[in-house]
Protein backbone atom coordinates (compact mmCIF):
# COMPACT_ATOMS: atom_id res chain seq x y z
CA UNK A 1 0.00 0.00 0.00
CA UNK A 2 2.45 2.64 1.14
CA UNK A 3 5.46 0.44 0.50
CA UNK A 4 7.18 0.28 3.85
CA UNK A 5 8.45 -2.57 5.98
CA UNK A 6 6.72 -3.20 9.28
CA UNK A 7 9.09 -4.06 12.08
CA UNK A 8 6.85 -4.31 15.11
CA UNK A 9 3.12 -3.94 15.49
CA UNK A 10 0.51 -3.61 18.18
CA UNK A 11 -3.26 -3.28 18.20
CA UNK A 12 -5.24 -1.21 20.69
CA UNK A 13 -9.03 -1.45 20.76
CA UNK A 14 -10.79 1.91 21.01
CA UNK A 15 -14.12 1.50 22.72
CA UNK A 16 -13.95 3.89 25.67
CA UNK A 17 -12.38 7.14 26.86
CA UNK A 18 -9.76 5.05 28.64
CA UNK A 19 -8.73 3.53 25.35
CA UNK A 20 -8.08 6.95 23.83
CA UNK A 21 -5.55 7.56 26.60
CA UNK A 22 -4.09 4.08 26.04
CA UNK A 23 -3.86 4.67 22.28
CA UNK A 24 -1.85 7.84 22.71
CA UNK A 25 0.42 6.23 25.28
CA UNK A 26 1.10 3.37 22.86
CA UNK A 27 1.91 5.81 20.09
CA UNK A 28 4.21 7.74 22.41
CA UNK A 29 6.12 4.58 23.33
CA UNK A 30 6.64 3.78 19.66
CA UNK A 31 7.63 7.37 18.88
CA UNK A 32 10.22 7.32 21.65
CA UNK A 33 11.62 3.95 20.60
CA UNK A 34 11.91 5.12 17.04
CA UNK A 35 13.87 8.17 18.17
CA UNK A 36 11.54 10.93 16.98
CA UNK A 37 12.47 14.38 18.27
CA UNK A 38 10.45 15.67 21.21
CA UNK A 39 8.49 18.03 19.00
CA UNK A 40 7.73 15.30 16.47
CA UNK A 41 6.69 12.93 19.25
CA UNK A 42 4.33 15.55 20.58
CA UNK A 43 2.88 16.22 17.12
CA UNK A 44 2.31 12.53 16.42
CA UNK A 45 0.79 11.78 19.81
CA UNK A 46 -1.51 14.79 19.49
CA UNK A 47 -2.61 13.62 16.04
CA UNK A 48 -3.20 10.12 17.45
CA UNK A 49 -5.30 11.62 20.23
CA UNK A 50 -7.50 13.48 17.74
CA UNK A 51 -7.91 10.43 15.51
CA UNK A 52 -8.57 8.01 18.36
CA UNK A 53 -11.27 10.33 19.65
CA UNK A 54 -12.81 10.52 16.17
CA UNK A 55 -12.83 6.73 16.01
CA UNK A 56 -14.64 6.59 19.33
CA UNK A 57 -17.04 9.50 18.95
CA UNK A 58 -17.90 9.47 15.25
CA UNK A 59 -17.07 5.87 14.34
CA UNK A 60 -18.75 4.37 17.38
CA UNK A 61 -15.51 2.65 18.40
CA UNK A 62 -12.91 0.66 16.52
CA UNK A 63 -9.25 -0.01 16.86
CA UNK A 64 -5.81 1.42 16.31
CA UNK A 65 -2.85 -0.44 14.90
CA UNK A 66 0.51 1.12 15.66
CA UNK A 67 3.75 0.01 14.07
CA UNK A 68 7.40 0.86 13.74
CA UNK A 69 8.13 1.07 10.03
CA UNK A 70 11.07 1.52 7.71
CA UNK A 71 11.16 2.87 4.18
CA UNK A 72 14.13 3.79 2.03
CA UNK A 73 16.46 3.89 5.00
CA UNK A 74 14.16 6.04 7.12
CA UNK A 75 12.43 4.90 10.25
CA UNK A 76 9.06 6.09 11.39
CA UNK A 77 5.88 5.35 13.28
CA UNK A 78 2.75 4.35 11.44
CA UNK A 79 -0.71 4.30 13.02
CA UNK A 80 -3.98 3.19 11.48
CA UNK A 81 -7.36 4.05 12.98
CA UNK A 82 -10.29 1.94 11.83
CA UNK A 83 -13.95 1.95 12.65
CA UNK A 84 -17.11 0.42 11.21
CA UNK A 85 -19.15 3.53 11.76
CA UNK A 86 -21.30 5.53 9.38
CA UNK A 87 -18.34 6.80 7.35
CA UNK A 88 -17.70 10.32 6.17
CA UNK A 89 -19.97 11.48 3.35
CA UNK A 90 -17.74 14.25 2.02
CA UNK A 91 -14.01 13.76 2.55
CA UNK A 92 -12.92 17.14 1.21
CA UNK A 93 -15.34 18.89 3.50
CA UNK A 94 -14.24 16.78 6.47
CA UNK A 95 -10.67 17.88 5.92
CA UNK A 96 -11.60 21.55 5.99
CA UNK A 97 -10.66 23.51 9.09
CA UNK A 98 -13.64 24.20 11.24
CA UNK A 99 -15.92 21.57 9.76
CA UNK A 100 -17.52 19.36 12.36
CA UNK A 101 -20.43 16.98 12.53
CA UNK A 102 -20.40 16.61 16.27
CA UNK A 103 -19.85 19.74 18.29
CA UNK A 104 -16.04 19.73 18.21
CA UNK A 105 -13.79 22.48 16.99
CA UNK A 106 -13.54 20.79 13.61
CA UNK A 107 -9.77 20.63 13.84
CA UNK A 108 -9.48 16.88 14.41
CA UNK A 109 -8.93 15.60 10.89
CA UNK A 110 -7.47 18.67 9.25
CA UNK A 111 -5.27 19.40 12.25
CA UNK A 112 -4.06 15.82 12.52
CA UNK A 113 -3.13 15.91 8.85
CA UNK A 114 -0.89 18.93 9.44
CA UNK A 115 0.85 17.20 12.34
CA UNK A 116 2.06 14.13 10.44
CA UNK A 117 4.14 13.46 7.32
CA UNK A 118 1.86 10.98 5.54
CA UNK A 119 -1.89 11.05 5.86
CA UNK A 120 -4.34 8.73 4.17
CA UNK A 121 -8.10 8.78 4.64
CA UNK A 122 -10.50 6.12 3.37
CA UNK A 123 -14.16 6.23 4.11
CA UNK A 124 -17.26 4.69 2.67
CA UNK A 125 -20.79 5.38 3.81
CA UNK A 126 -22.07 2.58 6.04
CA UNK A 127 -18.84 0.55 6.02
CA UNK A 128 -16.55 2.72 8.08
CA UNK A 129 -13.51 4.93 8.07
CA UNK A 130 -9.81 4.21 8.01
CA UNK A 131 -7.20 6.88 8.64
CA UNK A 132 -3.52 6.02 8.41
CA UNK A 133 -0.77 8.40 9.44
CA UNK A 134 3.01 8.18 9.46
CA UNK A 135 5.64 10.36 11.06
CA UNK A 136 9.21 9.85 9.89
CA UNK A 137 12.31 10.47 11.92
CA UNK A 138 13.94 13.66 10.71
CA UNK B 1 -15.87 6.78 38.30
CA UNK B 2 -12.98 8.69 36.80
CA UNK B 3 -10.50 10.63 38.91
CA UNK B 4 -11.08 14.30 39.46
CA UNK B 5 -8.38 16.90 39.23
CA UNK B 6 -7.97 18.65 42.60
CA UNK B 7 -8.60 22.40 42.77
CA UNK B 8 -6.60 24.25 45.41
CA UNK B 9 -7.40 27.66 46.78
CA UNK B 10 -4.71 30.18 47.63
CA UNK B 11 -6.23 33.45 48.77
CA UNK B 12 -8.21 34.88 45.91
CA UNK B 13 -6.84 32.40 43.42
CA UNK B 14 -7.88 28.88 42.46
CA UNK B 15 -4.99 26.69 41.43
CA UNK B 16 -5.27 23.60 39.25
CA UNK B 17 -2.21 21.57 38.50
CA UNK B 18 -2.80 18.89 35.90
CA UNK B 19 -0.42 16.03 36.61
CA UNK B 20 -1.76 13.12 34.59
CA UNK B 21 -2.71 12.21 31.07
CA UNK B 22 -6.35 13.30 31.12
CA UNK B 23 -9.29 11.28 29.96
CA UNK B 24 -11.93 13.32 28.14
CA UNK B 25 -14.49 12.88 30.92
CA UNK B 26 -12.01 14.14 33.50
CA UNK B 27 -11.44 17.22 31.36
CA UNK B 28 -15.17 17.93 31.24
CA UNK B 29 -15.51 17.34 35.00
CA UNK B 30 -12.70 19.80 35.65
CA UNK B 31 -14.44 22.47 33.60
CA UNK B 32 -17.65 22.00 35.61
CA UNK B 33 -15.86 21.86 38.96
CA UNK B 34 -13.96 25.05 38.25
CA UNK B 35 -17.08 27.01 37.40
CA UNK B 36 -18.71 25.85 40.61
CA UNK B 37 -15.70 26.62 42.75
CA UNK B 38 -15.32 30.11 41.28
CA UNK B 39 -18.84 30.96 42.30
CA UNK B 40 -18.59 29.20 45.66
CA UNK B 41 -15.33 30.89 46.66
CA UNK B 42 -15.73 34.20 44.88
CA UNK B 43 -12.24 33.73 43.50
CA UNK B 44 -10.84 36.48 41.31
CA UNK B 45 -8.41 34.36 39.41
CA UNK B 46 -7.72 30.85 38.15
CA UNK B 47 -4.31 29.44 37.39
CA UNK B 48 -4.13 26.21 35.39
CA UNK B 49 -0.68 24.68 35.50
CA UNK B 50 0.01 22.40 32.55
CA UNK B 51 3.76 21.99 33.07
CA UNK B 52 3.34 18.23 33.34
CA UNK B 53 1.15 17.86 30.25
CA UNK B 54 2.93 16.19 27.37
CA UNK B 55 0.22 16.97 24.88
CA UNK B 56 -2.68 19.37 24.57
CA UNK B 57 -5.06 18.28 21.85
CA UNK B 58 -8.10 20.12 20.56
CA UNK B 59 -10.26 18.70 23.33
CA UNK B 60 -8.08 19.96 26.17
CA UNK B 61 -7.45 23.15 24.20
CA UNK B 62 -11.18 23.73 23.98
CA UNK B 63 -11.56 23.15 27.71
CA UNK B 64 -8.88 25.77 28.40
CA UNK B 65 -10.58 28.29 26.11
CA UNK B 66 -14.02 27.52 27.55
CA UNK B 67 -12.80 27.77 31.12
CA UNK B 68 -11.22 31.14 30.38
CA UNK B 69 -14.47 32.39 28.85
CA UNK B 70 -16.66 30.97 31.62
CA UNK B 71 -14.49 32.32 34.42
CA UNK B 72 -14.43 35.74 32.78
CA UNK B 73 -18.21 35.68 32.82
CA UNK B 74 -18.01 34.88 36.53
CA UNK B 75 -15.61 37.79 37.04
CA UNK B 76 -12.44 35.73 37.37
CA UNK B 77 -9.38 35.87 35.15
CA UNK B 78 -7.78 32.62 33.96
CA UNK B 79 -4.09 32.16 33.28
CA UNK B 80 -2.63 28.99 31.79
CA UNK B 81 0.97 28.46 32.89
CA UNK B 82 3.87 26.18 32.02
CA UNK B 83 3.04 25.15 28.48
CA UNK B 84 5.95 23.19 27.04
CA UNK B 85 7.56 24.42 23.81
CA UNK B 86 6.72 21.18 21.96
CA UNK B 87 3.10 21.51 23.06
CA UNK B 88 2.95 25.14 21.93
CA UNK B 89 4.45 24.31 18.53
CA UNK B 90 1.97 21.47 18.09
CA UNK B 91 -1.01 23.61 19.05
CA UNK B 92 -0.01 26.22 16.48
CA UNK B 93 0.32 23.52 13.82
CA UNK B 94 -3.03 22.08 14.85
CA UNK B 95 -4.54 25.50 14.24
CA UNK B 96 -5.45 26.22 17.83
CA UNK B 97 -4.41 29.65 19.07
CA UNK B 98 -6.39 29.56 22.34
CA UNK B 99 -7.74 33.04 21.67
CA UNK B 100 -8.76 34.76 24.86
CA UNK B 101 -6.64 32.55 27.10
CA UNK B 102 -3.90 34.37 28.94
CA UNK B 103 -0.65 32.55 29.45
CA UNK B 104 2.49 32.81 31.53
CA UNK B 105 5.75 30.92 31.54
CA UNK B 106 5.66 29.81 35.15
CA UNK B 107 3.30 29.53 38.09
CA UNK B 108 5.10 32.47 39.72
CA UNK B 109 4.64 34.68 36.71
CA UNK B 110 1.03 33.58 36.36
CA UNK B 111 0.25 34.56 39.94
CA UNK B 112 2.09 37.86 39.46
CA UNK B 113 0.02 38.52 36.36
CA UNK B 114 -3.23 38.02 38.28
CA UNK B 115 -1.98 40.22 41.08
CA UNK B 116 -1.12 43.03 38.64
CA UNK B 117 -4.57 42.70 37.14
CA UNK B 118 -6.25 42.87 40.49
CA UNK B 119 -4.43 46.01 41.58
CA UNK B 120 -5.15 47.58 38.20
CA UNK B 121 -8.82 46.74 38.56
CA UNK B 122 -9.15 47.97 42.10
CA UNK B 123 -7.24 51.15 41.27
CA UNK B 124 -9.82 52.01 38.66
CA UNK B 125 -12.67 54.17 39.97
CA UNK C 1 24.18 -26.30 -18.43
CA UNK C 2 22.16 -26.00 -15.25
CA UNK C 3 22.75 -23.14 -12.87
CA UNK C 4 23.88 -25.44 -10.03
CA UNK C 5 26.59 -26.73 -12.27
CA UNK C 6 27.64 -23.21 -13.09
CA UNK C 7 28.11 -22.36 -9.43
CA UNK C 8 29.96 -25.62 -8.78
CA UNK C 9 32.23 -24.97 -11.70
CA UNK C 10 32.82 -21.41 -10.44
CA UNK C 11 33.87 -22.71 -7.07
CA UNK C 12 36.36 -24.99 -8.79
CA UNK C 13 37.66 -22.19 -10.92
CA UNK C 14 37.98 -19.79 -8.02
CA UNK C 15 39.68 -22.31 -5.72
CA UNK C 16 42.01 -23.57 -8.42
CA UNK C 17 44.78 -21.09 -7.97
CA UNK C 18 45.78 -18.73 -5.14
CA UNK C 19 47.19 -16.39 -7.74
CA UNK C 20 43.65 -15.49 -8.74
CA UNK C 21 43.11 -13.72 -5.48
CA UNK C 22 46.33 -11.80 -5.88
CA UNK C 23 45.32 -10.77 -9.35
CA UNK C 24 42.11 -9.40 -7.97
CA UNK C 25 43.91 -7.49 -5.24
CA UNK C 26 46.33 -6.12 -7.85
CA UNK C 27 43.51 -4.98 -10.10
CA UNK C 28 41.72 -3.23 -7.23
CA UNK C 29 44.90 -1.69 -5.84
CA UNK C 30 45.61 -0.15 -9.23
CA UNK C 31 42.26 1.67 -9.22
CA UNK C 32 42.62 3.00 -5.69
CA UNK C 33 46.00 4.63 -6.23
CA UNK C 34 47.54 3.58 -2.94
CA UNK C 35 44.96 5.26 -0.71
CA UNK C 36 44.36 1.98 1.06
CA UNK C 37 47.33 -0.06 2.23
CA UNK C 38 47.97 -3.25 0.35
CA UNK C 39 47.73 -5.29 3.56
CA UNK C 40 44.32 -3.87 4.40
CA UNK C 41 43.06 -4.41 0.89
CA UNK C 42 44.32 -7.99 0.92
CA UNK C 43 42.54 -8.71 4.17
CA UNK C 44 39.33 -7.14 2.91
CA UNK C 45 39.32 -8.95 -0.41
CA UNK C 46 40.48 -12.29 0.97
CA UNK C 47 37.50 -12.32 3.31
CA UNK C 48 35.22 -11.39 0.48
CA UNK C 49 36.75 -13.93 -1.86
CA UNK C 50 36.32 -16.71 0.68
CA UNK C 51 32.79 -15.68 1.52
CA UNK C 52 31.93 -15.56 -2.15
CA UNK C 53 33.41 -19.00 -2.84
CA UNK C 54 31.54 -20.45 0.12
CA UNK C 55 28.28 -18.87 -0.92
CA UNK C 56 28.66 -20.20 -4.43
CA UNK C 57 29.36 -23.63 -3.03
CA UNK C 58 26.34 -23.63 -0.77
CA UNK C 59 23.70 -21.52 -2.28
CA UNK C 60 24.14 -21.19 -6.02
CA UNK C 61 23.75 -17.80 -7.58
CA UNK C 62 20.96 -16.05 -5.71
CA UNK C 63 22.76 -13.13 -4.14
CA UNK C 64 19.72 -12.15 -2.06
CA UNK C 65 19.64 -15.59 -0.43
CA UNK C 66 20.53 -16.56 3.09
CA UNK C 67 23.80 -18.11 1.91
CA UNK C 68 25.04 -14.74 0.73
CA UNK C 69 24.44 -12.91 4.00
CA UNK C 70 28.15 -13.01 4.83
CA UNK C 71 29.04 -11.61 1.40
CA UNK C 72 26.50 -8.84 1.77
CA UNK C 73 27.70 -7.99 5.27
CA UNK C 74 31.27 -7.69 4.03
CA UNK C 75 30.19 -5.53 1.12
CA UNK C 76 28.20 -3.25 3.43
CA UNK C 77 31.22 -2.81 5.64
CA UNK C 78 33.45 -2.14 2.66
CA UNK C 79 31.11 0.44 1.10
CA UNK C 80 30.72 2.26 4.38
CA UNK C 81 34.46 2.44 4.94
CA UNK C 82 34.98 3.64 1.37
CA UNK C 83 32.24 6.27 1.73
CA UNK C 84 33.74 7.56 4.97
CA UNK C 85 37.19 7.81 3.44
CA UNK C 86 35.94 9.82 0.51
CA UNK C 87 36.25 7.28 -2.29
CA UNK C 88 33.99 7.75 -5.29
CA UNK C 89 31.15 5.32 -6.03
CA UNK C 90 33.12 4.05 -9.04
CA UNK C 91 36.17 3.35 -6.93
CA UNK C 92 33.99 1.48 -4.50
CA UNK C 93 32.10 -0.64 -7.01
CA UNK C 94 35.17 -1.45 -9.08
CA UNK C 95 36.44 -3.56 -6.18
CA UNK C 96 33.61 -5.94 -6.95
CA UNK C 97 33.65 -5.67 -10.72
CA UNK C 98 37.42 -6.28 -10.89
CA UNK C 99 36.74 -9.82 -9.74
CA UNK C 100 35.34 -10.55 -13.20
CA UNK C 101 38.70 -10.04 -14.85
CA UNK C 102 40.18 -12.80 -12.73
CA UNK C 103 38.12 -15.45 -14.43
CA UNK C 104 37.86 -13.79 -17.81
CA UNK C 105 37.63 -16.52 -20.47
CA UNK C 106 40.64 -17.15 -22.63
CA UNK C 107 40.88 -18.83 -26.03
CA UNK C 108 41.14 -22.23 -24.43
CA UNK C 109 38.12 -21.86 -22.13
CA UNK C 110 35.50 -24.55 -22.60
CA UNK C 111 31.92 -23.69 -23.42
CA UNK C 112 30.95 -24.68 -19.85
CA UNK C 113 33.49 -22.30 -18.41
CA UNK C 114 32.18 -19.47 -20.51
CA UNK C 115 28.62 -20.20 -19.42
CA UNK C 116 29.79 -20.29 -15.81
CA UNK C 117 31.63 -17.03 -16.35
CA UNK C 118 28.50 -15.36 -17.67
CA UNK C 119 26.65 -16.44 -14.54
CA UNK C 120 29.45 -15.01 -12.44
CA UNK C 121 29.31 -11.64 -14.21
CA UNK C 122 25.60 -11.44 -13.57
CA UNK C 123 26.13 -12.20 -9.92
CA UNK C 124 28.95 -9.67 -9.63
CA UNK C 125 26.91 -7.01 -11.41
CA UNK C 126 24.18 -7.45 -8.84
CA UNK C 127 26.66 -7.34 -5.97
CA UNK C 128 28.33 -4.28 -7.49
CA UNK C 129 25.03 -2.44 -7.66
CA UNK C 130 24.29 -3.47 -4.10
CA UNK C 131 27.65 -1.98 -3.13
CA UNK C 132 26.80 1.30 -4.84
CA UNK C 133 23.46 1.46 -3.13
CA UNK C 134 24.97 0.86 0.28
CA UNK C 135 27.61 3.45 -0.51
CA UNK C 136 24.95 6.01 -1.40
CA UNK C 137 23.08 5.29 1.81
CA UNK C 138 26.23 5.67 3.88
CA UNK C 139 26.97 8.98 2.17
CA UNK C 140 23.48 10.24 2.92
CA UNK C 141 23.90 9.33 6.56
CA UNK C 142 27.19 11.19 6.70
CA UNK C 143 25.68 14.25 5.06
CA UNK C 144 22.69 14.38 7.36
CA UNK C 145 24.92 13.94 10.42
CA UNK C 146 27.06 16.83 9.26
CA UNK C 147 24.03 18.98 8.53
CA UNK C 148 22.84 18.33 12.05
CA UNK C 149 26.18 19.32 13.54
CA UNK C 150 26.15 22.47 11.45
CA UNK C 151 22.68 23.33 12.71
CA UNK C 152 23.83 22.97 16.28
CA UNK C 153 26.76 25.29 15.64
CA UNK C 154 24.91 27.93 13.71
CA UNK C 155 22.02 28.61 16.04
CA UNK C 156 23.09 30.35 19.19
CA UNK C 157 20.46 31.63 21.57
CA UNK C 158 21.91 34.38 23.72
CA UNK C 159 20.69 36.09 26.82
CA UNK C 160 20.64 39.84 26.20
CA UNK C 161 19.21 41.11 29.43
CA UNK C 162 17.46 39.73 32.46
CA UNK C 163 14.36 38.16 30.97
CA UNK C 164 15.33 38.81 27.37
CA UNK C 165 16.82 36.23 25.02
CA UNK C 166 17.76 36.72 21.38
CA UNK C 167 18.68 34.65 18.34
CA UNK C 168 20.81 36.46 15.81
CA UNK C 169 20.18 34.51 12.62
CA UNK C 170 22.97 34.55 10.07
CA UNK C 171 22.95 33.00 6.62
CA UNK C 172 20.35 31.38 4.47
CA UNK C 173 17.36 30.06 6.33
CA UNK C 174 15.77 26.91 5.09
CA UNK C 175 12.74 25.33 6.58
CA UNK C 176 14.62 22.70 8.59
CA UNK C 177 17.06 25.16 10.09
CA UNK C 178 14.35 27.66 10.97
CA UNK C 179 12.47 24.91 12.76
CA UNK C 180 15.50 23.91 14.82
CA UNK C 181 16.27 27.52 15.74
CA UNK C 182 12.71 28.12 16.79
CA UNK C 183 12.55 25.03 18.98
CA UNK C 184 15.79 26.10 20.63
CA UNK C 185 14.51 29.61 21.17
CA UNK C 186 11.27 28.43 22.79
CA UNK C 187 13.17 26.02 25.02
CA UNK C 188 15.49 28.80 26.13
CA UNK C 189 12.45 30.88 27.12
CA UNK C 190 11.56 28.11 29.54
CA UNK C 191 15.09 27.49 30.76
CA UNK C 192 15.86 31.16 31.47
CA UNK C 193 12.28 32.09 32.39
CA UNK C 194 12.48 34.92 29.89
CA UNK C 195 9.27 36.63 28.85
CA UNK C 196 10.79 38.31 25.85
CA UNK C 197 12.53 36.99 22.78
CA UNK C 198 14.10 38.89 19.93
CA UNK C 199 14.60 37.21 16.57
CA UNK C 200 17.16 39.23 14.66
CA UNK C 201 17.33 38.51 10.95
CA UNK C 202 19.83 41.20 9.95
CA UNK C 203 22.19 38.52 8.67
CA UNK C 204 19.60 36.72 6.61
CA UNK C 205 19.84 37.44 2.87
CA UNK C 206 16.46 36.02 1.87
CA UNK C 207 13.26 34.71 3.35
CA UNK C 208 10.69 32.59 1.52
CA UNK C 209 7.07 31.98 2.40
CA UNK C 210 7.79 28.80 4.27
CA UNK C 211 10.46 30.36 6.46
CA UNK C 212 8.24 33.38 7.09
CA UNK C 213 5.48 31.00 8.16
CA UNK C 214 7.84 29.30 10.60
CA UNK C 215 8.77 32.68 12.07
CA UNK C 216 5.11 33.55 12.48
CA UNK C 217 4.31 30.20 14.06
CA UNK C 218 7.15 30.66 16.51
CA UNK C 219 5.80 34.00 17.59
CA UNK C 220 2.36 32.48 18.14
CA UNK C 221 3.84 29.50 19.99
CA UNK C 222 5.82 31.83 22.24
CA UNK C 223 2.60 33.69 23.04
CA UNK C 224 0.91 30.43 23.96
CA UNK C 225 3.73 29.86 26.41
CA UNK C 226 3.37 33.34 27.86
CA UNK C 227 6.21 35.17 26.14
CA UNK C 228 6.44 37.90 23.50
CA UNK C 229 8.62 37.89 20.41
CA UNK C 230 9.99 40.87 18.56
CA UNK C 231 11.49 40.53 15.10
CA UNK C 232 14.31 42.89 14.25
CA UNK C 233 16.58 43.59 11.31
CA UNK C 234 14.20 42.99 8.45
CA UNK C 235 16.04 44.22 5.37
CA UNK C 236 14.21 46.30 2.79
CA UNK C 237 14.45 43.54 0.15
CA UNK C 238 13.06 41.00 2.58
CA UNK C 239 10.19 43.28 3.51
CA UNK C 240 9.44 43.66 -0.21
CA UNK C 241 9.55 39.92 -0.80
CA UNK C 242 7.33 39.22 2.18
CA UNK C 243 4.74 41.74 1.04
CA UNK C 244 4.90 40.34 -2.50
CA UNK C 245 4.39 36.85 -1.08
CA UNK C 246 1.37 38.07 0.81
CA UNK C 247 2.89 37.41 4.23
CA UNK C 248 1.56 39.64 6.94
CA UNK C 249 3.10 40.00 10.35
CA UNK C 250 -0.13 41.30 11.81
CA UNK C 251 0.30 42.50 15.36
CA UNK C 252 3.83 41.20 15.72
CA UNK C 253 6.24 43.90 16.81
CA UNK C 254 9.04 44.52 14.34
CA UNK C 255 12.00 46.85 14.85
CA UNK C 256 14.71 48.07 12.52
CA UNK C 257 17.67 46.98 14.60
CA UNK C 258 18.46 44.67 17.44
CA UNK C 259 19.18 47.70 19.63
CA UNK C 260 15.75 49.18 18.90
CA UNK C 261 14.15 45.85 19.69
CA UNK C 262 15.97 45.59 23.00
CA UNK C 263 14.99 49.14 23.93
CA UNK C 264 11.36 48.38 23.06
CA UNK C 265 11.38 45.20 25.12
CA UNK C 266 12.98 46.84 28.14
CA UNK C 267 10.55 49.70 27.92
CA UNK C 268 7.62 47.30 27.86
CA UNK C 269 8.83 45.17 30.70
CA UNK C 270 9.48 48.32 32.72
CA UNK C 271 13.01 47.25 33.48
CA UNK C 272 15.80 49.64 34.26
CA UNK C 273 16.84 51.01 30.90
CA UNK C 274 20.40 51.52 29.90
CA UNK C 275 21.21 55.20 29.41
CA UNK C 276 19.86 56.00 25.98
CA UNK C 277 22.43 57.30 23.54
CA UNK C 278 22.00 60.95 22.59
CA UNK C 279 19.88 60.28 19.56
CA UNK C 280 16.23 60.67 18.86
CA UNK C 281 15.86 56.90 19.18
CA UNK C 282 15.62 56.97 22.94
CA UNK C 283 11.88 57.41 23.27
CA UNK C 284 10.37 56.77 26.57
**CATH number of the domain to which A86 belongs:** 3.30.565.10
CA–CA dist A97, C122 (Å, integer): 55
Mean pLDDT of C121-134: 91
Which tens digits make up the pLDDT trace of C174-204? Answer: 888 888 888 999 999 999 999 999 999 998 8
CA angle C230, C235, C237 (to 5 degrees): 135
Closest Cα of chain A to B107: distance in Å? 22
CA–CA dist C53, A74 (Å, integer): 33
Residue C278: which pLDDT band, with cuts at 50, 70 and 90? Answer: very low
Output the average pLDDT for chain C. Answer: 85
Q: Which of A17, A42, A97 sits opposite B95 (nearest CB)?
A: A97
How many structural domains compose chain A? 1
Residue B1 belongs to a domain: no
What is the reported pLDDT for C64?
85
Closest partner CB to A17 (pick from B24, B86, B89): B24
Asked if the structure places residue B102 within a domain, the reply is: yes
CATH number where B101 lies: 3.30.750.24
- Cβ contact (<8 Å) for A138 and C176? yes
Look at residues A37, B89, B88, A134 and name the one whose alpha carbon lies nearest to residue C148.
Answer: A37
- pLDDT band, very low/low/confident/very high, at B2 (cuts 50, 70, 90): low
Q: A138 contacts in C (CB within 8 Å)?
A: 176
Closest residue in C to B104 (Cα–Cα)? C226
At residue C271, the pLDDT reads 57
Model pLDDT, residue A46:
95
CB-based contact B94 A107, cutoff 8 Å: yes
The pLDDT of residue A61: 92
Confidence bin at C125 (pLDDT 50/70/90): very high
**Cα–chain-centroid distance for residue C144?**
2
Cβ atoms within 10 Å, residue C142: 14
Q: How far is CA C253 from CA A22, A109, A126, C170, in A?
A: 42, 33, 51, 20
Would the CB atoms of A50 and B58 count as touching at under 8 Å? yes
Answer whether residue A105 shows pLDDT above 60: no
**Which tens digit of pLDDT belongs to each residue from C88-103?**
888 888 888 888 888 7
Contacts of residue C182 in chain B, CB cutoff 8 Å? 89
Distance (Å, whole) CA B106 – CA B57: 21
Instruction: Report the residue of chain A nearest B94, measured CA to CA.
Output: A111
Which residue in chain B has the smallest CA separation from A47? Answer: B57
What pLDDT sits at residue C194?
Answer: 94
Q: How many CB atoms lie within 10 A of CB A111?
A: 23
pLDDT given at position C170: 85
pLDDT-based confidence at residue B81 (cuts at 50, 70, 90):
very high
Domain residues for the domain of A28 are 5-136
Separation of alpha carbons C35 and C130, rounded Å: 23
User: A50-64, A70-84, C178-192, C260-274: which range is least confident on average?
Assistant: C260-274
Q: Determine the residue among C182, C224, C228, C229 to mutate to test chain B binding: the one whose Cβ has the most chain B Cβ atoms within 10 Å.
A: C224
Give the mean model confidence (pLDDT) for residues C223-245: 90
More confidently predicted of C33 and C2: C33
* A99-108, B111-120, C176-185, C243-252: range with lowest mean pLDDT: A99-108
CB contact under 8 A, B88 and C183: no
- pLDDT surpassing 70 at residue B125: no
Q: Place C3 in a pLDDT band, splitting at 50, 70 and 90.
A: low
Residue B2 lies in a domain: no
User: pLDDT value at position B124?
Assistant: 62
Rounded CA separation C177/C148 (Å) = 9
Question: At a CB cut-off of 8 Å and minimum separation 6, what does A7 contact?
Answer: A67, A68, A69, A70
Whether C137 and A73 lie within 8 Å, measured CB to CB: yes
Q: Please give the average per-residue pLDDT across B83-112, as a whole number.
A: 92
Average pLDDT, chain A: 87
Contacts B58 to A, Cβ<8 Å: 50, 104-105, 107-108, 111
Total number of domains constituting chain B? 1
- Report yes or no: C117 and C99 within 8 Å, Cβ to Cβ: no
* Cα(B104)–Cα(B11) distance, integer angstroms: 19
What is d(CA B26, CA B60) in angstroms, rounded to the nearest whole number? 10
DSSP string across chain B: ------EEEETTEEEEE--S---HHHHHHHHHHHHHHHHHHT-SEEEEE-TT-S---HHHHHHHHHHHHHHHHTT-EEEEE---HHHHHHHHHHT---TT-EEESSHHHHHHHHHHHHHHHHH--
Q: Which residue has the higher pLDDT, C30 or B73?
A: B73
Please report the pLDDT score of residue A100 as a whole number: 60
DSSP reduced 3-state for A118: strand
**pLDDT per position as a tens digit, B43-68:** 999 999 999 999 999 999 999 999 99
* pLDDT score at C2: 56
Instruction: Please report the pLDDT score of residue B92 as a whole number.
Output: 93
Chain C residues lying within 8 Å of A39, measured CB to CB: 179, 183
pLDDT single digits (tens) C204-222: 888 888 888 888 899 999 9
Residue A101: pLDDT over 70: no
Which residue segment(s) compose the domain that B86 sits in?
Answer: 7-123
The domains found in chain C, sorted by start residue, are 3-148 (1.10.490), 158-269 (3.30.750.24)
Amino acid sequence: MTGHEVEQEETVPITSNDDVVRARQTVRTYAQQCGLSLVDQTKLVTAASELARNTLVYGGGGRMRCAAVRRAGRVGVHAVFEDRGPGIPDLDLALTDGWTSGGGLGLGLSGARRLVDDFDLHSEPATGTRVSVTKWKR
Amino acid sequence: MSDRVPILRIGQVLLVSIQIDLEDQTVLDLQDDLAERIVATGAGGVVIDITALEIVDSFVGRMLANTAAISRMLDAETVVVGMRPAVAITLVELGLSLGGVRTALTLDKGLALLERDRTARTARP
Amino acid sequence: MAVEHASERLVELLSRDDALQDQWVDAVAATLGGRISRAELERELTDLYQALTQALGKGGLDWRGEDYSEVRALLVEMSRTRARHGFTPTETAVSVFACKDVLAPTTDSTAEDITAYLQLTRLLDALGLFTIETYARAREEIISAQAEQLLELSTPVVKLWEGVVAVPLVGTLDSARTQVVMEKLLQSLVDSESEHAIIDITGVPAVDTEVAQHLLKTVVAARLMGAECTISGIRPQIAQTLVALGVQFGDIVTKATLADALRHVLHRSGAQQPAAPSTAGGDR
